[in-house]
Amino acid sequence: MSELLELNILPSPKTVEESLVAETTSEDVVRRIHTLKEELRDKVVILGHHYQRDDIVQFADRTGDSFELARYASELYDREFIIFCGVHFMAETADVLSGDNQKVILPDLKAGCSMSDMARAEQVYDVWDEIGEQLDTAKLCPITYMNSSAAIKAFCGEHGGAVSTSSNNKALFEWAFSQGFEKILFFPDQHLGRNTAFYQMGIPLEQIRLYDQTKPLGGLTPEELRSAKILLWRGHCSVHQHFQSSHPNIMRALYPGIQVLVHPECNFDVVRQADKVGSTAYIIKTVEQAPPGSMWAIGTEHHMVNRLRKEHPEQFITTLAPYACECSTMFRISPESLLDILENLKRGVVKNQISVEASEKKWARVALERMLEVTRKAQ
Ligand code: SF4
């Protein structure tokens, strides 16, 4: 393996870091953002997702994963403007959970999420009707991962279901069965759904079925559909799919003693080989609590891994893949776009507001509040 390193086929963590595009923001932009933040401090709060680059995180009043930021948004009633440095579905969620007097702003409207785009509302309605020709959908609970549009969250709320995140997916699946539902339809991330159902709940794989929305009846026979407990939408994260089942062993061979720590959006085989698996918040906590000298190969978005590495020089931290896996849509939020939003607010102009339709807002809020309630009880 060391020959591969010498041949530069597998770069060392240092090489990975050096290969990054430098994230430098001009001093003038940094100064102007700080000045405007100070001038608007009673009206504005800036939220930053952990996957944002460092030159955005430096301006965030609060950082978190999608669950933590959703909770903050539901508690920040004293700020008129919530500037959400994340992606579109997160800003929608903040709009659903925030007060009527508040406005949520996404600095770059092109900051979407490829996973969220894999489940369109019209497709979900069609699939629901298709399944309804075979089963009683009153016994089927739709649960959507946070990484989905407000329209899909609303669909779940209206049909007795809920939203989940990677930190509470098991609790939401258990809640669904405790409500008398016999099956769950989970979207959009097949990997989180399968990893939760199999590794955390012990549901056999024969009862966990991929429902391929591009095929008639999801590519299943009526009998397979009837015997399934969990139906998984065919979606995935384009960042976490880069982690492959060969990577844990490569890292263990390169760095004896290293522990593999991955996000459950990674595929089933990667998760099977990991030492630890959990949400973004869990990954951060695990590293924070580890003793000096600990060694980690982490399977999640690169900016977060790199930040952990810088914050914990007493440990050895590298990305699980032998290259950087970054979320290119998260990366669209730049200091310049943030500055543009603040300058417009200073002039009284609200740019890039994210506003969920009232009809969707009502049911999306029901689905999100079910999640918050289930999580509160599970803690
Ligand atoms: S990391 Fe994956 S799931 Fe998260 S925003 Fe990027 S594409 Fe979407």
| pLDDT tens digits along 228-246 | 999 999 999 999 999 999 9
216 CB contacts (<8 Å, ≥6 apart)?
A: 130
DSSP three-state, residue 135? coil
Q: Which residue has the higher pLDDT, 377 or 342?
A: 342
Distance 187 CA to ligand 1 centre (A): 14
- Residue 105 confidence (pLDDT) above 50: yes
Residue nearest to atom 6 of ligand 1 (CA): 327
- Residue 145 pairs in a beta bridge with 164
Give the model's pLDDT for residue 4. 38
Q: Average the pLDDT over 199-217 and give the result.
A: 97
Q: Average the pLDDT over 325-340 and give the result.
A: 93
Tokens of residue 131, six digits? 């399944």
**Which residue reads 């590293």 in tokens?**
287
Mutate to test the pocket of ligand 1, among 85, 106, 115, 263 (most ligand atoms within 8 A of CB): 115
Give the model's pLDDT for residue 10. 46
Distance 113 CA to ligand 1 centre (A): 5
Instruction: Quote the crossing angle between the two packed helices 280-289 and 66-73, to the nearest 10°.
Output: 110
Distance from C-alpha of 208 to C-alpha of 227, rounded to nearest angstrom: 9
What pLDDT band is residue 342 in, cutting at 50, 70 and 90?
Answer: very high
Cβ-contact 308, 298 below 8 angstroms: yes
Query: Residue 263's closest CA among 249, 284, 232?
Result: 284
- pLDDT over 90, % of the chain: 85
Q: Is the CB of 319 under 6 A from ligand 1?
A: no
Q: Average the pLDDT over 73-94 and give the result.
A: 91
Give the model's pLDDT for residue 198. 98
Class for the domain spanning 22-113+331-355: alpha beta
Q: Is the CB of 333 under 6 A from ligand 1?
A: no
Q: In 36-161, where do the E strands start and end?
A: 44-49, 62-64, 81-85, 103-105, 140-145
Lowest mean pLDDT, pick from 42-56, 70-84, 334-348 = 70-84
Distance from C-alpha of 280 to C-alpha of 278, rounded to nearest angstrom: 7
Give the model's pLDDT for residue 71. 81
Distance from C-alpha of 38 to C-alpha of 46, rounded to nearest angstrom: 12
Mutate to test the pocket of ligand 1, among 238, 263, 267 (most ligand atoms within 8 A of CB): 238
Q: Average the pLDDT over 213-236 and give the result.
A: 97
Cβ-contact 22, 53 below 8 angstroms: no
Amino acid at 141: C
Give the model's pLDDT for residue 259. 98
Distance 297 CA to ligand 1 centre (A): 19
- Residue 91 confidence (pLDDT) above 60: yes
Tokens of residue 29, six digits? 């932009």
Q: Is the CB of 189 under 6 A from ligand 1?
A: no
Distance 114 CA to ligand 1 centre (A): 7
- Residue 339 confidence (pLDDT) above 50: yes
What pLDDT band is residue 325 in, cutting at 50, 70 and 90?
Answer: confident
Distance 239 CA to ligand 1 centre (A): 6
What pLDDT band is residue 131 in, cutting at 50, 70 and 90?
Answer: very high
Ranges for all domains in the chain classified under CATH 3.40.50.10800: 22-113+331-355, 116-236+360-378
What pLDDT band is residue 20 in, cutting at 50, 70 and 90?
Answer: very low
Give the model's pLDDT for residue 23. 58
Q: Is the CB of 241 under 6 A from ligand 1?
A: no
Q: Is the CB of 162 under 6 A from ligand 1?
A: no
What pLDDT band is residue 332 in, cutting at 50, 70 and 90?
Answer: very high
- Residue 22 confidence (pLDDT) above 80: no
Cβ-contact 79, 45 below 8 angstroms: yes
- Residue 178 confidence (pLDDT) above 60: yes
Q: Average the pLDDT over 271-297 and give the result.
A: 97
Give the model's pLDDT for residue 24. 64
What pLDDT band is residue 66 in, cutting at 50, 70 and 90?
Answer: confident
Q: Is the CB of 119 under 6 A from ligand 1?
A: no
Residue nearest to atom 3 of ligand 1 (CA): 237
Cβ-contact 320, 251 below 8 angstroms: yes
Q: Is the CB of 146 under 6 A from ligand 1?
A: no
Distance 87 CA to ligand 1 centre (A): 8
Question: Which of the 8 DSSP states describes residue 259?
Answer: E
Between 3.90.780.10, 1.10.760.10, 3.40.50.10800, 3.40.47.10, what CATH number should domain 116-236+360-378 receive? 3.40.50.10800
What pLDDT band is residue 109 in, cutting at 50, 70 and 90?
Answer: very high
Amino acid at 168: N
Sign of CA dihedral 229, 148, 273, 261: negative
Mutate to test the pocket of ligand 1, among 327, 332, 333 (most ligand atoms within 8 A of CB): 327
Distance 374 CA to ligand 1 centre (A): 24
pLDDT in tens, 30-57: 999 999 999 999 999 999 999 999 999 9
Cβ-contact 125, 155 below 8 angstroms: yes
- Residue 19 confidence (pLDDT) above 70: no
Please tell me the pTM assigned to this model: 0.91
